[in-house]
Structure 1
Amino acid sequence: MHSAQDHPTPREEALGRIAGSLVVSCQALPGEPLFGAGIMARMAVAALQGGASGVRVNGPEDIAAVRAAVPVPVIGLWKRGDTGVYITPTLADARTVAAAGADIVALDATDRPRPDGLTLTETITALHADGVPVIADVSTFDEGIAARAAGADAVATTLSGYTTEDPPPPGPDFALLTALAARLDVPVIAEGRISTPQEAARALSLGAHAVVVGGAITRPTAITERFAAALRSVGNPLAEETPA
């Protein structure tokens, strides 16, 4: 006879449910046209209809609205500030995210000091005691190794290129993804600057457990800017042909 411990909880099953698939990051910040929990819930429904197997959502209000709108796994986080450790920076923030309905909590797992003074290991241990799985957002290979040692249930390449003063490089960090996938015994999630279906497919072929895409799908202002910039780069051929 199996004990209750032999069967994974719904939260523990969430990582398995996104295996080999697309997770869409449905996020909008204050001041952006799509900001608002109701709008993000609709965005999540649209992502699900398009074939996503999970969503990544920022903030307790948005998480609660999305959780009520879709049945797929919700990866929750809470961006607090915009410098240093700001993705779910404290244990209290992580618990709030879980209470709002997130199946999995994503948090900054870089080697920078955490605002509440806890270590990454202490934070993850406390969340595991609550029955909450953790995705560790890292920026380097060493941070990924350390995050796994701290108990992370999965590691994501989310913060690669975003922890220094230099602007992030173009394109996904496939090298980091490949290295982590080859070394770690937990799922590695590809996230960060994935802008085309081809890049997403490549990430999966390189060993990603799942692929998170955000801006290329859910940020129409940024998408429009890319198209507009491309047109500006070639000028206006019709204007050049117009007689003086």
Structure 2
Amino acid sequence: MNKEAERIIPYQGLVVSCQALPDEPLYGSHHMMAMAMAAKEAGAAGIRAGGLEDIRAIKEAVGLPLIGLVKIQHENSGVYITPTLEDALAIHAAGADIVAVDGTGRPRPDGRSLAETIAGLKRAGAAVMADIATFEEGVLAAEWGADYVSTTLCGYTRETAGTPLPNLALLERLAAVLDVPVVAEGGISRPEQAAEALRLGAAFVVVGSAITRPQWIAARYVQAMRHTGSREAGETER
């Protein structure tokens, strides 16, 4: 394992993703900062946050190691997470300890390759996390200098759409061959899954919606209760 990378976020720790989209009730730096503070009180080892304003606010208030990104949709590209080198450099300048970038093979909106993007960040002194979707993408990202490889985008690209998540088999394959830390992220909704990811070789685990998206958490309860209520009503009618 890359010892320099390991020192940024404690090995086998929990990283809580504190992000909200503009159409969500908790959108805004004040809310995300509060989420990050709560995560720290719970024992989180780091925070993953999106947007320059949120990154600055959380870094100043919470002090935990921070993985930063920005989500921007471009018409000419499916790349959504930190799509350009300029975006990535701005995240680094805002104080992120690690810059997360799309690590897939999809064309990037600025015309640069992933290798060029990683090289540009490394020249600026940034630690880089490649959010990948496939085994091959993870191997290439590590070869091109990524300090971390994360399974974040498995299930979110055309090639991996419909993959059951979390894809712990992908995590295990990458951890067995890469010398850089492999991060488990994507679809982890239960503590048991996070613990299993560590057992399979994850350097640390990133969990978002299952902790910091109340509307998603509440919806799971509502759906389960509706299903139970409908079934019991049918049994009563019989």
Length-normalised TM-score, structure 2: 0.92
Q: Distance in 2 between matches of 1:150 and 1:211?
A: 23
Are the aligned partners of 1:45 and 1:70 in contact in 2 as well (CA < 8 Å)? yes
Structure 1, 54-63 or 116-125: larger mean CA deviation: 116-125
Structure 2: which 5+ residue stretches go unaligned? none
Aligned residue pair count = 233
Residue 166 to residue 189, structure 1, CA distance change in 2 (3 Å): closer
Aligned to 1:177: 171
Q: Tell me if 1:142 matches 2:136.
A: yes
Q: 2:56 aligns with which of 59, 64, 72?
A: 64
Aligned to 1:108: 102
* 1:108 partner amino acid: D
Q: Tell me if 1:85 matches 2:73.
A: no
Q: Distance in 2 between matches of 1:168 and 1:54?
A: 29
Length-normalised TM-score, structure 1: 0.90
Residue 14 to residue 62, structure 1, CA distance change in 2 (3 Å): farther
- CA shift for structure 1 position 170: 3.7
Q: 1:51 aligns with which of 33, 40, 43?
A: 43
Aligned to 1:193: 187
Deviations 1:31-57 (A, max 9, x none): 100000111011100000011000000
Structure 1: which 5+ residue stretches go unaligned? 1-7
Report matched runs for 1:14-33 at 5 Å: 15-33=7-25
Structure 1, 162-171 or 173-182: larger mean CA deviation: 162-171
Q: Distance in 1 between matches of 2:8 and 2:24?
A: 33
Residue 47 to residue 167, structure 1, CA distance change in 2 (3 Å): same
* 1:233 partner amino acid: H
Deviations 1:62-102 (A, max 9, x none): 11111111111000000001761010010000011111110
Q: Distance in 2 between matches of 1:189 and 1:166?
A: 18
Structure 1, 14-23 or 66-75: larger mean CA deviation: 14-23
Q: Distance in 2 between matches of 1:138 and 1:179?
A: 13
Are the aligned partners of 1:14 and 1:73 in contact in 2 as well (CA < 8 Å)? no
Q: 2:225 aligns with which of 225, 231, 237?
A: 231
| 3-state SS of 1:111 partner | coil
Deviations 1:81-134 (A, max 9, x none): 176101001000001111111010000010011111111111111111111000
Deviations 1:147-182 (A, max 9, x none): 011110010000001101875444300110000000
* 2:21 partner amino acid: L
* 1:139 partner amino acid: A
The two structures, once aligned, show a CA RMSD in angstroms of 2.1
Q: Distance in 2 between matches of 1:130 and 1:13?
A: 16
Q: Distance in 1 between matches of 2:155 and 2:199?
A: 22
| 3-state SS of 1:76 partner | strand
Aligned to 2:29: 37
Aligned to 1:206: 200
Percent of pairs identical after alignment? 55
Report matched runs for 1:90-101 at 5 Å: 90-101=84-95
